[in-house]
Amino acid sequence: MPNYRRALRKPKLHLAPNEIWPNGKLDATAPPEAHLAKALAQRFHSARARHTLKQIADQADISTDSLSRLLRGETW
């Protein structure tokens, strides 16, 4: 089975010009996965006002490294 994750560009690379991750607008050609990653990053970013990165990662059952990369728009 092919590894589609590797074939996809980083989510933040689908931002429209001059936009900033995760609140910026995505370009018109952004795949559904980019919209999903953006929505997740926005929710996790909002949670950072109330919780530590570790608390959020533990609650989401993902590693802090994965959460950090998602917040930066570097992974799906």
Domain boundaries, the chain: 4-71
Mention every residue, 6+ apart, whose C-beta is less than 8 A from residue 66: 57, 75
pLDDT category at 7 given cuts 50, 70, 90 is low
Half-sphere exposure of residue 5: CA atoms within 13 angstroms, side-chain side: 4
Q: What is the pTM of this model?
A: 0.85
CB 24 within 8 A of CB 15: yes
pLDDT in tens, 39-51: 999 999 999 999 9
- The amino acid that residue 46 corresponds to is S
